[in-house]
Structure 1
Amino acid sequence: MNRPTKDDLDKMENDAIAFYEISCCVAPDNFDIIINCKSTNEIWDVLKIFYQGSEEAQDKKLIITLNEFNNFKALPGQSPKYRFKRFNLIIIKLSNDVTVRSNHETNLQLLNGLGRHWTKTKMILQGDRKIHTLSFFKLYGELQAQESTMLKDCAGLGGLLALIA
């Protein structure tokens, strides 16, 4: 019978440590799904499917999220803060799916999703070269700064509700 080499012993020790660490991180409610796994690799594969779903399910989630991104529109009467939160959740979902968008593409999509009453603000921001490099959060700051101007323009037209009707 062959005796294990130092490398074999190191691999077994590392596997045991990884097995223990992964097991400790699993919620007690979900521990029963990994209890019969024989290796850390098997635990990892089981947990990945359990939490992320199959590849087909992941593909469907990605398609839905891309559609949400491409079809993003501000809802009538929605505050800029809530609109930003909604769009940011879409960006987070995309980044979780490893779908990275450039700052420029993300910024333009958010601006294009704004209502008609934001046209002047959109033109100002799109005409500025920094729209290419501006972070998503700084764009939100720019929109907040422009909000009072936009609200004044809307008030002169009969208010936001007049634009929606």
Structure 2
Amino acid sequence: MKRYLRRLGRDVWRSIEEGPHVPILSPVQTDGSTTRLGGGQPIWNHPTKDDLDKMENYAVAFYEISCGVAPDNIDIIINYKSAKEIWDVLKNLYKSSKQAQDKKLTTALNEFNNFKAHIGESLEDSFKRFNVVVTKLSDAGTICSNHETNLQFLNGLGRHWTTTKMIVQGDRKIHSLSLYKHYGELQA
């Protein structure tokens, strides 16, 4: 999320770090006296171009960070009114203790090792599900080799892929192809 927001511009990211920009407005003064509308309320100066740019960057930051939150975390951030508050909450939410990191890794490894295609599931749907598992494993800090990943995917496909698995496992490409290219070869 941080990389994405920084890519939108350093000023967008800065607006999250610093919080919303509030322009400083003051009564317009001429000849030492405050100009007033019809002798009543003072006339205020307008926000500067810099103020407007900062407010626009903040609006972009707030929108993007709000839309980037996972649906199951919307209830957590819904009551916060600034991008900075949301960012601070998300940082604390995703800042894992060692125990939480270990649990995340264990869960991801179990999903990887126990991956099985569902009965009647298409190759494409199996690939999509497996790719999510590999991403979780990567997010938990473990990167498997192409060989390990391809082999696990093949082994999870089920009995009706036995002949194809034997052919692919005998081919040296299983060691070097990325999972996506390996999937492409299975489709051919």
Same fold (TM over 0.5): yes
Residue 135 of structure 1: how far off its partner (Å): 0.9
Which structure is larger by alpha-carbon Rg, 1 or 2? Answer: 2
Cα separation, 2, equivalents of 1:20 and 1:55? 31
Structure 2 partner of 1:101: 144
1:144 aligns with 2:184: no
- Identity, in percent, stands at 57
Cα separation, 1, equivalents of 2:14 and 2:120? 52
1:67 aligns with 2:110: yes
- Pick closer, same or farther for the CA change 1:20–1:32 going to 2, 3 Å: closer
Partner amino acid for 2:158? G
- Pick closer, same or farther for the CA change 1:141–1:33 going to 2, 3 Å: closer
Q: Does structure 2 retain, via aligned residues, the 8 Å contact 1:52–1:58?
A: no
- Pick closer, same or farther for the CA change 1:31–1:126 going to 2, 3 Å: farther
Residue 86 of structure 1: which of 114, 124, 129 is its match?
129
TM-score, structure 1 as length reference: 0.62
Cα separation, 2, equivalents of 1:69 and 1:53? 21
TM-score, structure 2 as length reference: 0.55
Over residues 25-60 of structure 1, what are the superposed CA-to-partner deviations in whole Å (9 max), with x where a residue is unaligned? 55474567965xxxxxxx5xx643313443322321
Query: Please, which runs of 5 or more residues in structure 1 have no aligned partner?
Result: 1-16, 36-42, 146-165
Residue 63 of structure 1: how far off its partner (Å): 0.8
How many residues are paired up? 122
Q: Does structure 2 retain, via aligned residues, the 8 Å contact 1:103–1:134?
A: yes
Query: Please, which runs of 5 or more residues in structure 2 have no aligned partner?
Result: 1-11, 20-57, 67-76
Partner amino acid for 2:183? Y
Over residues 91-124 of structure 1, what are the superposed CA-to-partner deviations in whole Å (9 max), with x where a residue is unaligned? 1111112211111110000011111111110011
